[in-house]
Structure 1
């Protein structure tokens, strides 16, 4: 149904069930029903509703109670088209407080603009059509009345917030023409007339109260603020207003309320990094209190025995994050520099099992525990040392690895103590069950065996992937660990010092006297030094000798044992014997050359001294014990002349003896 020539018309399809098509045509031919438009391609026939017989007209009004309103609003509904520029304008619009309009408001305001633009185009087309017919403009009041009446129909397809009063709708259209899209934005988004916290002093006072480290509730903040407001003459505020300001100032007050560490972990921008693509590019190490309980019995001075069941050990792990492979680990009662050293020692030894030589990492990431004490060791075990910022667990990949160990392995044991104290209590183990099972907890050695099994399984399950990724390690980043540095920082000591003997050094290692020596000539120049011997209990073929102040170091090899009997000589004995003889010959030559050079230097010093004494006697009139000056001077001059003559005397060659003599 639609309005045609200011008459409400209906199509034959809408009259289906009311009157047949044949009857409608007959009544149209007789002139009983008025047909205002014939059917053609793209449009249907239209018949005036008021020309229908009374019984049919009543049925049409009963079936379509708002038929007239629908017909009058149809041109308005069909004329509205979406406005893309309006949608983009409201999507990019920023309010004075930095907020954007909600998606719902953007769509609502864009529809308002589309509807008003369509109304304006309809009004212009109607006036233009009447002017071409030399008629006056249409009645604006009637147009806007019909437009306002059509708004409820438009809301189904174009949700809008335009006023449904003809007068207000006309005023809104005039405002839209004058101001454009911005006139649609409600002033309530930027209205500050009802605000009670306005100036900088009021805002600062409220922020200080909200930032209090005790996390004061809203009611207490409002009470304290109102005490200041009463003195200053400011308006009073309520707890609900404080709640709004708490959310608004959350970023500013977060660090003071919850601490700088929490602020850095939750509010500051985080850096996202990728895992290393090859082993030995980076190691991350840290200590973790292993969540496995063991029982321990202690005896006090009075002989009373006390058993505790809440004891835990500390696991220090050196992790290669390329595939979360535990390259090294150590177990202790608590984290200490010695425990970290043992973990790095285990990493060096295990790298030799994997690669064939001891390796060090290109980079070590650690926390700041004992950083001054451990820096030298970290620098030996890597090329770059990058300590993480204090209290920043997110930068270390080893922190999630500890949680992985806890949930994957430890949680399966009956002596599992749970997660951290900040974890939801519903996820913690049953404390009553732990108390009932405490007598079956293993002792300290039993927990150590549990941890060793966990780490052994971790290495076995990830070793294939680790070795496969080892092919990605370039020669530039392949850094071997020298035996000297390994023994210097990880070697065991006897607690005693040794002096150089004819056979070298003779320390007692593992209860046995052993002989060590080196082919370095300078080692024997320090016979007066006392040497501390550092050794690897699993490999005693080489040791490191370090003097007392650590300024001199020598790598010594275990002496080769030659058989006394010629009949027992083996292959290689002759070469070793010849090496010792060559060294001794070189040593003797070295000593002879040094001593000869010293003699020559002293001879030159003596000659220079005699020459200086002669010059001194000639320049000073010093007499001898007999009161003579000229005679000693003359004698010395003559002896000097004789020496000169001898130095330049030509010696004739001795004639050759005749043959046969």
Structure 2
């Protein structure tokens, strides 16, 4: 016996158990006097409505099953109840206000309450879903809770519980369970809250709003405001000491409102524990810092008066390798700018070349969101991956505490040290009176720049050996070289002018001097008509980068090797450099000959079709103007083979006289 929807049904097997025969059942179905609610299928018996049975059969059913109605009402709930493991764990771990845990009996009782409530919810959802598929109205809640309350005594035989047997109270408890969860079944007697003045959610919510106000009110003000509301609502008044207790209880909920979201994330949210990289260049982090070193500056105001200020500070941009907090790059400026960041990254690339013989990139760069759109291309050049830190989350960047370390270790030793910051305990700050008396002795901007450079140099000197030693831990696949071309393209200086290719290559003016650069790439001479922007490194003028105006063409150029005119001044390496030029010119001529030959081959069929064009063609020294035929005619059988010998030109010793037989044609 079971309910199918709202219909009390009996199965086929139960009818065949002496109530009627198979033939009677088929006859009643054929005549339409018996309503079949569900057809039989695999593992699902056929169901027939009990009320549709003829009177004699229906009487026999009720005689055999005297508590049929009660069992049928409770059967859907009984079959649906499943122990709630989460509820069991919740009540097992629940700690009361006085530190006690619930007894085992209470844990089982409250867990059964949750399991029964879960069964009620599942029955409602299943019934509504079934009704919607049949285009029927939703379940009648009043009738459902009447049946549910009536089924509670039978359910208590298998699942002891403490649910109310009144249908209205049961429905209210169900709604409370949906809203509050497992805690709604815990009696306030266990919480010792019968005498509490803040004894419901509404009163607690008022306290949450007052304690969490952004003005960060004190306990007395909160108590006065709460009591004003309590007087209107006929609540019991509370004292400031009670507010203090509630402030501690509600600290997690109200801290974001009182102290801000940033403070909440830094103090209340779960923090991630991380370890430092085990090798250099696995990660870089960078940021700017207003160095706590004061300098004096004199400027002329709008009225022509000279005004001296003494509270000026410079900004230090540091690229830090956190494997051992090594400052791999830095730059000093008046304030943080994208140009200052680029200068610090440039210094990191050059310093890596000084340490390990080649410029290296980082596998990961961590930064803040300052000018992120502008500087992202540079970050992508200097790092394989870019991971910006969350806004206002200083804990994610180890460069922030590194600045505090520099301030405490180095800056504090200078007489122009300004202190730790405005939020620091005044007892730990420098004597402001002494600073004011010595302000005229503060260094100027150049002096402070020198102080900062000394700090970085001392810091590098202390950690450079360890940094080199840790480089052994860097896997080969994690060693990311930075090409000279990429370095000059992103960090190279420009002359401000454009240059065209001349016979000797490019002749830009670098650092006030004309210099000659050329390229051993044949393609470079194909763009003789273009204007080129020259990018160079002021510290290394051996190579420059030539970039076309539209940026689509780039060629690395090397400074031209200067050969001596006098044989007596030749030195080792001159011949090799000269031979490189000869080899390049030979390749260039061969490239041109191959290109012209290809043009002749492709154009010959068209030329043969035009006699006038053939007559006007100029012949070569052999009287040929059809190059393919001339090549076939001038084969190895018709032309004598000529032996070609390579003659080595001996180097003339330094100071030896040259004879008339010496070959000067090589120059």
TM-score by length of 2: 0.62
Equivalent position of 2:265 in the other structure: 264
Structure 2 gaps of 5+ residues are 1-91, 104-186, 612-637, 639-667
Partners of 2:610 and 2:190 lie apart in 1 by 106
1:330 paired residue number: 331
Q: CA 1:198–1:608 in 2, change beyond 3 Å: closer, same or farther? A: farther
The Cα of 1:402 is off from its aligned counterpart by 0.9
Aligned counterpart, 2:382:
381
Deviation of 1:593 after TM superposition, in Å, equals 3.3
Equivalences for residues 288-327 of structure 1 within 5 A = 288-327=289-328
Q: 1:296 to 1:267 in 2, by over 3 A?
A: same
Instruction: Work out whether 1:400 is the aligned partner of 2:401.
Output: yes
Q: Is 2:199 the partner of 1:198?
A: yes
TM-score, normalization by structure 1 = 0.62
Q: What aligned pairs does 1:548-587 form with structure 2 within 5 A after superposition?
A: 548-587=549-588
Residue 589 of structure 1 pairs with residue 590 of structure 2:
yes
**Distance in structure 2 (CA, Å) of the matches to 1:526 and 1:200:** 80
Structure 1: tracts of 5 or more residues without a match: 1-91, 107-185, 611-655, 657-661
Corresponding position of 1:94: 94
The one-character-per-residue Cα deviations of 1:47-100 (angstroms, maximum 9, x if unpaired) are xxxxxxxxxxxxxxxxxxxxxxxxxxxxxxxxxxxxxxxxxxxxx873346x73
Q: Distance in 2 between matches of 1:93 and 1:547?
A: 72
> Structure 2 matches for 1:361-376, cutoff 5 A?
361-376=362-377
3-state SS in 2 of match to 1:578: helix
Query: How much has 1:550 moved relative to structure 2?
Result: 1.7
**Alignment-derived partner of residue 25 in structure 1:** none
CA spacing shift, 1:223–1:569, aligned 2, 3 Å: same
- 1:95–1:190 Cα contact (<8 Å) kept: no
Distance 1:192 1:493, change over 3 A: same
Q: Distance in 2 between matches of 1:429 and 1:261?
A: 29
2:360 aligned residue: 359
User: What are the Cα deviations for residues 437-475 of structure 1, in whole angstroms up to 9, with x where unaligned?
Assistant: 111111111111111111111111112222222222221
**Secondary structure of 1:374's aligned partner:** helix
Separation in structure 1 between the aligned mates of residue 485 and residue 236 of structure 2, nearest angstrom: 77
- Residue 262 of structure 1 and its aligned partner are, at CA, apart by 0.8
User: Which one has the largest radius of gyration?
Assistant: 1
Task: Quote the Cα distance in structure 2 between the aligned partners of 1:227 and 1:277.
Answer: 61
Q: Is the 8 A contact 2:188 2:194 kept in 1?
A: no
CA distance in 1 between counterparts of 2:254 and 2:221 reads: 16
Measured against aligned partners, the alpha-carbon deviations of 1:293-317 in whole angstroms (never above 9, x if no partner) come to 1111111243311111111111111
Cα displacement (A) at 1:598: 4.0
Number of residue equivalences? 441
Give the CA deviation at 1:219.
Answer: 3.0
1:408 deviation in Å? 1.1
Contact 1:93 1:101 in 2 (8 A): no
Q: Provide the aligned C-alpha RMSD in A.
A: 2.9
Q: Cα distance, 1:328 vs. partner?
A: 1.4
Which residue does 1:542 correspond to in 2? Answer: 543
Tell me the distance in 2 between the aligned counterparts of 1:261 and 1:278.
32
Partner Cα distance (1:298, 1:452) in 2: 25
Structure 2: distance between partners of 1:436 and 1:482? 53
2: distance between equivalents of 1:607 and 1:232? 111
Instruction: Give me the whole-angstrom Cα distance separating, in 1, the residues matched to 2:529 and 2:476.
Output: 43
Hey, what's the Cα distance between the residues in 1 that align with 2:579 and 2:585? 10
d(CA) in 1 for partners of 2:316 and 2:409?
A: 16
Are the aligned partners of 2:219 and 2:244 in contact in 1 as well (CA < 8 Å)? Answer: yes
Which aligned pairs between 1:509-520 and structure 2 lie closer than 5 A?
509-520=510-521
3-state SS of 1:489 partner: helix
The answer on whether the counterparts of 2:317 and 2:331 sit within 8 Å (CA) in structure 1 is yes
Q: Secondary structure at the match of 1:542?
A: strand
Conserved in 2, the CA contact under 8 Å of 1:214 and 1:257? yes
Partners of 1:603 and 1:225 in 2: how far apart? 103
For residues 280-295 of structure 1, the aligned pairs below 5 Å read: 280-295=281-296
- State how far apart, in whole Å, the 1-side matches of 2:318 and 2:284 are: 10
CA shift, 1:216, in A, is 2.0
Give the secondary-structure state (helix, strand or coil) at the position aligned to 2:296.
Answer: strand
Q: Which residue of 2 aligns with 1:345?
A: 346
Alpha-carbon distance between aligned partners in 2 of 1:594 and 1:203, rounded to the nearest angstrom = 90
